[in-house]
Amino acid sequence: MALERPIRTDPLPITQGDAQPARPPRGLSSWKNWIGLVPFFAFAIFFLFLPSFSIVYRSFESPQHTFTFDNIIAIFTERNLVNAYKASLTVSLITAAGGALFGFLLAYAVILGGLPRSLRTFMTTFSGVASNFAGVPLAFAFIATIGNAGLITRWLESAMGFDIHQTGFTIYNIWGLSIVYMYFQFPLMVLIMAPALDGLRREWREACENLGGTAFHYWRFIALPVLLPSLLGTAILLFGNAFGAYATAYAFSGSFINLVTILIGAQIQGDVLYNPGLGNALALGMVMIMGFCMAGYAWLQQRTARWIR
């Protein structure tokens, strides 16, 4: 139910617009407003905030259960750990950029590319599943495709006589892992950009064409500026998603590719290393990076809510 009002700059046109009721709305002071929220916040405090807070204070715990800054210092000084952060950041950047780019193209193709409507439904339902396909099955699927004995590898060898491993190619590095990560990055992009692309009113395109603009003008001056916050926000979400990925990376190459999540797992679980303080410190670093990502995403999403109804 749209209201005939000028587009407001604050992010919630619906509820703000409805704030013209017959009787005055209850203020925040009325305690009855909070009942519905009490269980939610109580749950969040007991089962989310308090345990998460343990990351912070346990970062300062040594294996002998004393207070120490060693863990935090190690993150910045030990080459092993610095490289883990570098590798994680690299993979996240690659998959965020690549995922955003091709994911956007894919979303555009099925939504605005003039393809049959059923393909859009197909793509969105498939994306819903594929964005959750991760861990051991995903790793295996790619190993079975382009690994040493993979389907494509063997086909290339038999049909084209081309042994890709002679060229020194291997999927067990950052680039191979990025290819695997794209499997849930592309769909995530498609799912989130779909509503944004829907929000591109065709009137704008028509108006542009009426004024003599070309497709280039349309994109450069209308569509991209509108979509940019959404694009960037989703790219940041993809970045965070890749940074926090654990199951897939571990199933793919264990700790042989050095990533932050893998190191955390090795310190907190497993048979050999056991320095939960260091694990928590690594997690703290990760939480801060992810925190920035989520904050950026949330801020950009607020800005796009203007255009999406």
Partner 1 sequence: MRRRASVWAWVILVLGLLYFFIPLIATFEFSLRAIKGRYTFEAYRLAFMDPAFVRNFGYSLMWCVLTIIVSLALVVPAAYWVHLRLPRLRPVVEFVTLMPFVVPAVVLTFGLIRLYGSPPIVLIGSPVLLIAGYVVLSLPYMYRSVDTGLRAIDVRTLTEAALSLGAGWGTILLRVIFPNLRVALLSGIFLTFAIVMGEFTFASLLSWPAFGPYMEEIGAMRAYTPQALALVSFALTWGSIGIIQWLGRGAPGQGQIAGAR
Partner 2 sequence: MTIDKRFSRRDFLKISAVTGAGALLAACGPQATPTAVMPDLTSGNSIPLDQLLEAAKSEGSLTTIALPHDWANYGEMIETYKSKYGLAVNELNPDAGSADELEAIRANKDSKGPQAPDVIDVGIAHTKTAMADGLVAPYRVSTWDTIPMKDPDGYWWAEYYGALVFEVIKPDIANTPQDWEDLLKPEYKGKVAMAGDVLKSNQSVQTVLAAGISRAGGLGDTVESAVEAAKAGLEFWAEMVSAGNFIPVIADQGKIAQGETPIVMEWDYLALANRDALAGNPELDIVVPASGVIAGPYAGGISAFAPHPYAARLWWEFVMSDEGQLLYLKGYAHPIRYTDMAARGVIPEEMAAKLPPAENYAKAVFATVDQLKETGTYITENWRKVVYGE
3-class DSSP state for residue 61? strand
Smallest separation, CB 158 to partner 1 (Å)? 15
228 binds, among partner 1, partner 2, none (CB under 5 to 8 A by kind): none
Q: Is the Cβ–Cβ distance between 200 and 112 less than 8 Å?
A: yes
What is the rounded distance in angstroms from the CA atom of residue 237 to the CA atom of residue 129?
18
3: contact with partner 1 by CB under 8 A: no
Q: Which of 62, 93, 287, 307 binds partner 1 (CB under 8 A)?
A: 287
Residues between 232 and 261 that touch partner 1 (CB under 8 A): 237, 240-241, 244-248, 261
Smallest separation, CB 151 to partner 1 (Å)? 4
56 binds, among partner 1, partner 2, none (CB under 5 to 8 A by kind): none
Q: Is the Cβ–Cβ distance between 146 and 172 less than 8 Å?
A: no
3-class DSSP state for residue 88? helix
What is the rounded distance in angstroms from the CA atom of residue 216 to the CA atom of residue 185?
27
What is the rounded distance in angstroms from the CA atom of residue 273 to the CA atom of residue 71?
14
Residues between 170 and 199 that touch partner 1 (CB under 8 A): 182-184, 186-188, 191-192, 194-195
285: contact with partner 1 by CB under 8 A: no
Q: Which stretch binds partner 1 (CB under 8 A): 71-79, 169-177, 216-224, 286-294?
A: 286-294
The site string for partner 1 over 65-104 (x = CB under 8 A, - otherwise) reads: -------------------------------------x--
145: contact with partner 1 by CB under 8 A: yes
Give me 265's structure tokens. Answer: 């797992």
177 binds, among partner 2, partner 1, none (CB under 5 to 8 A by kind): none
Q: What are phi and psi of 67, to 5 degrees?
A: -80, 135
148 binds, among partner 1, partner 2, none (CB under 5 to 8 A by kind): partner 2
**What Cα–Cα distance (Å) separates residue 34 from each residue in 12, 26, 37, 263?**
20, 11, 5, 42
Sign of the CA dihedral running 85, 91, 92, 94: positive
